[in-house]
């Protein structure tokens, strides 16, 4: 209200002044030394008023956050932002093109005035990684976290990914476990964790992780089965190397039944058990597998196992013979088991019967060994020759 009243009074005063000047125009003279300026009075008064107004505006602009200062600051901010944006884009392009030095330089140069410094720091860390500048890489990651405290997962995953590609498995695992505390269901974190466990041969933790991988659909059923079998097998081999038969038997009982009977699984385990002088456990393993599937490789291995239950082995082989008919591999197995039991005559009968069904080199070799043991060197030589010829 006061401002409106002041404006009206000023207008009225100016109107009155104009009327007075029109009635008596008059002149104004300004002299300085030898200089003299004359002008109509109304022009002089107008010039003085204009000068005061200009001076007032200038003082307002120079004191405090004036318009010019604000405009300048805005221009400078926009210029810096555009320059930072341009350098960031150039840095990302250089990173994509594999120009690591240029990428790192541009990304760090433009980070100060970037509205999202996290992007610059993470990209610069990748460039430093490629340059094998691991100290700078870790420093950039630290800066990234400081610049955006809410980006713990993003920074952690980037760090883990870089450590993984540099084969720093232990460091990568430690980083991923920190990320897991922040985001236990994160799919990419779980995928990296699975790969690190595999690289570190941490089969126990990998097995524990498999249900979550399945739930999050990170692996399909085929991959899940492959990982599961690999982990179980490696853990079993670890138990076998330790040589504690009781622990081996306990672990074997915990294994999924389908794994206990698969030939691809049973054969290497049984051979390992035989080499470790654990024939009884090897016999049990192969027998269980043969109960569900007959296989020449399995029955051939069964004939080489001489457990403390040799009579039961022979009975089991006879039961297979009844099921499979006159199968040469089973007859060979019975011949080997009879030999181990000291029943040489019975062993000879089984082996010769096997040769009549199908002459196998292995059968000739076993029969030659039996003949040599019985003192028939001529027959032994003939069998060995046939074994080589066949």
Domain segments of the chain: what residues?
A: 24-58
pLDDT band at 312 (very low <50, low <70, confident <90, very high): very high
Q: What is the mean pLDDT of residues 128-150?
A: 82
Residues 107, 114: Cα–Cα separation, whole Å: 10
Helix axes 263-275, 296-304, angle to 10 degrees: 10
Task: Output Rg (C-alpha) for the chain, integer angstroms.
Answer: 47
From the number of C-beta atoms within 10 Å of its C-beta (0-12, 13-18, 19+), residue 150 rates as exposed
Is the four-CA dihedral 340, 345, 347, 348 of positive or negative sign? positive
In DSSP terms, 229 is beta-bridged to: none
Among 65-74, 134-143, 282-291, 304-313, which stretch is predicted with the lowest mean pLDDT?
Answer: 65-74
Is the four-CA dihedral 267, 268, 273, 277 of positive or negative sign? positive
Among 148-162, 283-297, 326-340, which stretch is predicted with the lowest mean pLDDT?
Answer: 148-162
Q: What is the mean pLDDT of residues 65-81?
A: 57
The H or E element containing residue 62 is helix 41-62
Residues 390, 388: Cα–Cα separation, whole Å: 6
Among 99-108, 160-169, 203-212, which stretch is predicted with the lowest mean pLDDT?
Answer: 99-108
Specify the length of the chain in residues.
Answer: 390
pLDDT digits (tens, 9 = 90+) for 55-70: 666 666 555 555 555 6
Residues 312, 317: Cα–Cα separation, whole Å: 9
- What pLDDT does 60 receive? 63
Q: What is the mean pLDDT of residues 4-22?
A: 61
Q: What is the mean pLDDT of residues 342-354?
A: 93
pLDDT digits (tens, 9 = 90+) for 27-48: 666 676 667 666 666 566 666 6
217: left (phi over 0), alpha (psi -120 to 50) or beta: left
Q: For all residues of the chain together, what is the average pLDDT?
A: 82
**Residue 292 confidence (pLDDT) above 70:** yes
Residues 63, 195: Cα–Cα separation, whole Å: 64
The better pLDDT of the pair 66, 81 is held by 81
pLDDT band at 2 (very low <50, low <70, confident <90, very high): low
């Amino acid at each position: 209200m006061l401002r409106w009243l002041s404006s009206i009074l000023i207008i009225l005063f100016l109107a009155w002044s104009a009327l007075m000047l029109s009635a008596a125009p008059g002149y104004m003279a300004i002299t300085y030394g030898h200089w003299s300026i004359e002008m109509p009075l109304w022009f002089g008064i107008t010039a003085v008023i204009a000068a005061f107004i200009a001076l007032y505006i200038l003082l307002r602009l120079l004191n405090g956050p004036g318009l010019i200062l604000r405009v300048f600051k805005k221009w400078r901010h926009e210029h810096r932002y555009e320059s930072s944006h341009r350098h960031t884009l150039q840095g990302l392009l250089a990173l994509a093109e594999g120009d690591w030095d240029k990428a790192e330089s541009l990304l760090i140069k433009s980070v100060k005035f970037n509205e999202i410094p996290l992007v610059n720091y993470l990209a610069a860390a990748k460039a430093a990684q490629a340059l094998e500048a691991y100290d700078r890489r870790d420093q950039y990651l630290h800066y990234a976290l400081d610049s955006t405290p809410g980006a713990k997962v993003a920074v952690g995953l980037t760090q883990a990914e870089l450590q993984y590609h540099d084969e720093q498995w232990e460091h990568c695992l430690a980083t991923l476990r920190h990320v897991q505390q922040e985001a236990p269901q994160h799919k990419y974190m779980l995928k990296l964790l699975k790969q690190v466990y595999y690289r570190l041969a941490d089969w126990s933790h990998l097995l524990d992780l498999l249900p979550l991988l399945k739930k999050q659909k990170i692996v399909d059923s085929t991959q899940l089965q492959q990982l599961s079998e690999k982990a179980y097998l490696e853990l079993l081999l670890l138990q076998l190397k330790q040589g504690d038969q009781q622990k081996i038997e306990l672990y074997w009982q915990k294994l999924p039944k389908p794994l206990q009977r698969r030939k691809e699984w049973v054969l290497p385990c049984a051979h390992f058990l035989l080499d470790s002088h654990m024939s009884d456990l090897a016999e049990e393993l192969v027998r269980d597998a043969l109960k569900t599937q007959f296989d020449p490789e399995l029955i051939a291995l069964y004939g080489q196992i001489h457990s403390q239950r040799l009579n039961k082995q022979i009975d089991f082989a006879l039961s297979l013979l009844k099921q499979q008919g006159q199968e040469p591999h089973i007859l060979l197995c019975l011949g080997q088991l009879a030999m181990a039991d000291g029943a040489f005559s019975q062993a000879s009968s089984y082996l010769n019967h096997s040769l009549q069904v199908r002459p196998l080199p292995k059968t000739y070799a076993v029969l030659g060994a039996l003949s040599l043991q019985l003192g028939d060197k001529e027959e032994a030589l003939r069998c060995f020759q046939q074994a080589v010829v066949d």
